[in-house]
């Protein structure tokens, strides 16, 4: 995984996780660690969650407090310097939240994505007309959106699509779309027909599998799970995953990132169940084609 792909998102999360592990090994409470560093517990928790860039001097001091060996301290200080690098998406922070930028960073660093969408086409698959209509209708601050801001958010969303066709290690995507997502004419019938045609084009890519779960397929865990995505990351030079899998759940007012083993396990089980309940790829293509003809 290159730094250009991941920006600072993955290094921040890696460093934060290692700092938390060192603190736990030192049997030091968050309160005691924050007092030793002379900053707030809130800042410590944000550092351990990978939410903020970190200064190498701060990281070195924390390593000393936790009793980390010199070689690990130097390695973590070097990683801290990487947390200040910026990905391409940082130029859009004027129109998207920092939390949304975290997802784009994780998505850019991922090697595999498993996505289940009940009511909307996944953002990676959206056409410009569909994306504009979704943003204008469903944004939490829709009443405050200017035409210029809609342009910027749409531009960022479309830029993400390069992950599917980048020349080196394109993102491998397995997506399940609910029938409702295909039938809801976002942006009007013409825009929706174009969106369905685009799905069919994407489904021909070797790294993309798109399946449809019909409304009549009601006996699966997706009925209760809602939409979610599972991001998996490539292994590093030692054969270990550079970052543990992440489950992403988007809500109207915020986003939820889950990475605890038991959380991942439950969502992976739900995903397996949903994937099995969906039509196979060829049948899904035929299903999408049929709905597209109904819109014509």
Rounded distance between C-alpha atoms, residue 104 and residue 91, angstroms: 12
CATH number at residue 191: 3.30.870
Query: Last residue of a domain, which of 67, 82, 97?
Result: 82
Nearest to 270 by CA among 249, 253, 254: 249
CATH number at residue 12: 1.10.260.40
% of the chain at pLDDT higher than 90: 61
Q: What is the pLDDT of residues 157-184, one digit of tens each?
A: 999 999 999 988 999 999 999 999 999 9
Q: Are residues 143 and 250 in the same domain?
A: yes
Q: Are residues 31 and 109 in the same domain?
A: no
Q: Are residues 191 and 275 in the same domain?
A: yes
Task: Note the pTM of the prediction, 2 decimals.
Answer: 0.79
90: confidence class by pLDDT, cuts 50, 70, 90: confident
Helices (H), 38-144: 41-48, 56-66, 70-82, 98-109, 128-138
Longest C-alpha distance within the chain, in Å? Answer: 68
Axis-axis angle for helices 9-25, 70-82 (nearest 10): 150
The DSSP bridge pattern shows strands 112-117 and 172-178 to be: parallel
pLDDT at 227 over 90: yes
Query: Please, which residues bridge with residue 112 across strands?
Result: 172, 232
All residues at 6 or more sequence positions from 110 whose CB lies less than 8 Å from its CB, including other chains: 171, 231, 232, 233
Query: Last residue of a domain, which of 82, 112, 140?
Result: 82
Rounded distance between C-alpha atoms, residue 64 and residue 62, angstroms: 5
- The number of distinct structural domains making up the chain is 2
Q: Are residues 110 and 29 in the same domain?
A: no
The rounded mean pLDDT for the chain is 89
Q: Are residues 152 and 56 in the same domain?
A: no
Q: Which domain holds residue 61?
A: 3-82
Query: Last residue of a domain, which of 65, 82, 99?
Result: 82
């Amino acid at each position: 995984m290159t730094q250009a792909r991941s920006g600072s998102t993955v290094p921040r999360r890696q460093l934060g996780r290692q700092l938390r592990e060192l603190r736990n090994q030192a049997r030091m409470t968050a309160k005691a660690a924050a007092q030793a560093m002379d900053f707030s517990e809130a800042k410590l928790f944000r550092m351990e969650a990978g939410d903020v860039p970190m200064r190498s001097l701060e990281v070195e001091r924390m390593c000393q407090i936790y009793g980390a060996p010199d070689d690990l301290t130097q390695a973590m200080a070097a990683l801290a310097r990487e947390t200040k690098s910026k990905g391409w998406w940082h130029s859009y922070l004027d129109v998207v939240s920092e939390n949304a930028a975290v997802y784009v960073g994780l998505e850019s660093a991922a090697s595999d994505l498993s996505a289940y969408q009940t009511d909307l086409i996944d953002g990676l698959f959206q056409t410009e007309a569909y994306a504009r209509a979704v943003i204008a209708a469903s944004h939490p601050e829709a009443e405050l959106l200017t035409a210029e801001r809609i342009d910027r958010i749409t531009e960022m969303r479309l830029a993400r699509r390069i992950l599917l066709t980048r020349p080196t290690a394109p993102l491998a995507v397995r997506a399940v779309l609910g029938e409702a997502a295909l039938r809801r004419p976002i942006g009007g019938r013409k825009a929706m027909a174009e969106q369905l045609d685009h799905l069919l084009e994407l489904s021909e890519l070797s790294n993309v599998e798109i399946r449809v779960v019909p409304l009549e397929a009601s006996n699966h865990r997706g009925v209760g799970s809602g939409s979610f995505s599972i991001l998996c990351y490539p292994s590093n030079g030692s054969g270990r995953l550079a970052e543990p899998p992440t489950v992403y759940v988007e809500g109207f007012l915020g986003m939820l990132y889950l990475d605890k083993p038991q959380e991942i396990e439950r969502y992976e089980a739900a995903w397996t169940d949903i994937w099995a309940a969906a039509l196979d790829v060829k049948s899904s293509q035929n299903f999408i084609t049929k709905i597209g003809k109904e819109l014509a």
